[in-house]
Amino acid sequence: MIKYKDTRWMYLVIPYNTSIGPLSTLVTLQILSLGGNAIDVAYAISLSNAVLIPASIIWGFLADKMDRKKQILLSLAGVSIPLIVMPFMKSISLITLNYALITFMSTASTTPFNLLIMESAEKKHWGSLFSRFSLFSSIGVLLGLVVSTFLVILLRIDQIEEILGFSVLATLIASVKILPKPIITFERAAIIHNKESFLTRMRHLPMMFLHLPNIHHFKMFSVSRLFRKPINYIPLLYLGIVLFYISSGIFNTVYPAGLYVKGLNKSEVLAVISVGMIFQILGFRISSTLLENKDEKGLAYISLILRGVSYVLLGIFAQLFLGIPILISGLIFYPLAAGIAYAVFYSSSTTLIFKIVGERRQGTGLGVYSTVVGISLFVGSLLSGYITHYISYGIDFIVAGIILLIASWIFRYLEEG
């Protein structure tokens, strides 16, 4: 029997996301503090993005076979231990490898948490539960960023990471008692049969392999098909999303480093990222309403323009100024780009993907989507280090913005068959 009222375990995602939410920014600042440069940061983020592909495959398949509770507990243990030993990571290489391990282990809990929601309620209640789960996750990330903003004034970054590790360990101990044992078994395929569950799952990890794609599944990207209506709708939709994630990799990988190099202290860097997270939470609230009344392609087009223009303006400021102007521009344009624009584009584009996989071969569609997203993030994050190191942070941000403006043209051109 499904116990709808017993959902206390969902509160566990708040301290868990508090611990892992600020980690990418903290690792960036930690690498810079050790004398690293943009390329070192890019290598760390790129390796983390690369790990997501095998991690999502491995843990996704295990989620169909393992006890949900055991996999979540394993994930929490696998995240807490690397965080606790961060003070012993004295080189950039060790930090990079440790961060990749944390990424791999944190991925293990994504699918089980989502499936656990589905096991805790009747289908008619899934929407409200997934909405609450997303809210708790966002609150956790925001809380982690805010706490880190103040702790970084008093402590070394590796000490903050150690504290976050003990927070995950405390969550693990609480999970042993609070997490329910699975009552029924859901396959991952069940997630894509419900819009709310699908959107929440993809928001936390934009990769989901029901089965591995082969080379023939990528024939949709052939040049001849890209220019023939209406069969070019799907490849163009994927291409627009690919450009979005390449741009995100280029910008997000080095933006915290750019703030630091351009004169902001560690606390100010974390404060800018925190404000962006606040607006992202608001953005997801707004996007849910917009999607009920507006066309998804139109919303994606507008959000890409807003995000692209914001990136370009951040790049111009980074090229021309240091210190206070960088802080002010970050507090204005970064929330627009990473908050409002990201939330609206993510919700609208993922809804479009949901419609495709809901109608066609689901395993193939999600496999191709997950693969291109993973490769795009990896390529973008890797490129960012070299663009920044050999040219400048400002040009890196501007390039990311131009790519988004190209993607916006693709979404404007989209015509569904």
* CA dihedral of 206, 211, 212, 216, whole degrees rounded to 10: -110
| Average pLDDT rounded to a whole number, residues 158-186 | 89
| Average pLDDT rounded to a whole number, residues 15-40 | 96
Q: Which of the 8 DSSP states describes residue 132? A: H
Q: Are 310 and 337 in contact (CB under 8 A)?
A: yes
Instruction: Specify the pLDDT at position 365.
Output: 67
Coil, helix or strand at residue 322? coil
What pTM did the predictor assign? 0.91
Task: Find all residues with CB under 8 Å of 180, minimum gap 6, and list them.
Answer: 3, 6, 9, 69, 116, 119, 120
When computed from its CA atoms, the radius of gyration of the chain, rounded to whole angstroms, is 20
Q: Give the other-Cβ count within 10 Å of 54's Cβ.
A: 13
The residue length of the chain stands at 417
Nearest residue to 53 (alpha-carbon basis) of 184, 188, 176, 209: 209
| d(C-alpha 222, C-alpha 238), whole Å | 12
Contacts 24+ apart (CB under 8 A), 387-392: 387/250, 388/38, 388/39, 388/42, 388/254, 388/257, 388/258, 389/37, 389/38, 389/39, 392/318, 392/319
Instruction: Classify domain 1-205 at the CATH class level.
Output: mainly alpha
Q: Give the other-Cβ count within 10 Å of 305's Cβ.
A: 19
pLDDT band at 290 (very low <50, low <70, confident <90, very high): confident
Q: Give the other-Cβ count within 10 Å of 282's Cβ.
A: 15
Nearest residue to 368 (alpha-carbon basis) of 233, 221, 231: 221
pLDDT band at 214 (very low <50, low <70, confident <90, very high): confident
pLDDT band at 201 (very low <50, low <70, confident <90, very high): confident
| d(C-alpha 113, C-alpha 104), whole Å | 16
pLDDT band at 194 (very low <50, low <70, confident <90, very high): confident
Q: How far is the first Cα of the chain from the last one, in angstroms, to the nearest whole number?
A: 43
* Residue 396 structure tokens: 């890196």
Q: What is the 3-state secondary structure (H, E, C) of 67-116?
A: CHHHHHHHHHHHHHHHHHCHHHCCCHHHHHHHHHHHHHHHHCCHHHHHHH
pLDDT at 173 over 70: yes
| Average pLDDT rounded to a whole number, residues 294-312 | 94
pLDDT at 371 over 90: no
Question: Where along the chain do the CATH 1.20.1250.20 domains lie?
Answer: 1-205, 215-416
Instruction: Specify the pLDDT at position 217.
Output: 66
Residue whose entry in the numeric block shows the structure tokens 């323009």: 305
pLDDT band at 22 (very low <50, low <70, confident <90, very high): very high
Instruction: Specify the pLDDT at position 50.
Output: 94
DSSP-assigned states of every residue in 375-414: HHHHHHHHHHHHHHHHT-HHHHHHHHHHHHHHHHHHHHH-
pLDDT band at 128 (very low <50, low <70, confident <90, very high): confident
| d(C-alpha 253, C-alpha 294), whole Å | 32
Nearest residue to 26 (alpha-carbon basis) of 240, 267, 247, 235: 267
Instruction: Specify the pLDDT at position 330.
Output: 97
The domain made up of 215-416 has a fold known as Growth Hormone; Chain: A; (1.20.1250)
Coil, helix or strand at residue 327? helix
State yes or no: cis peptide before 256, omega within 30 of 0. no
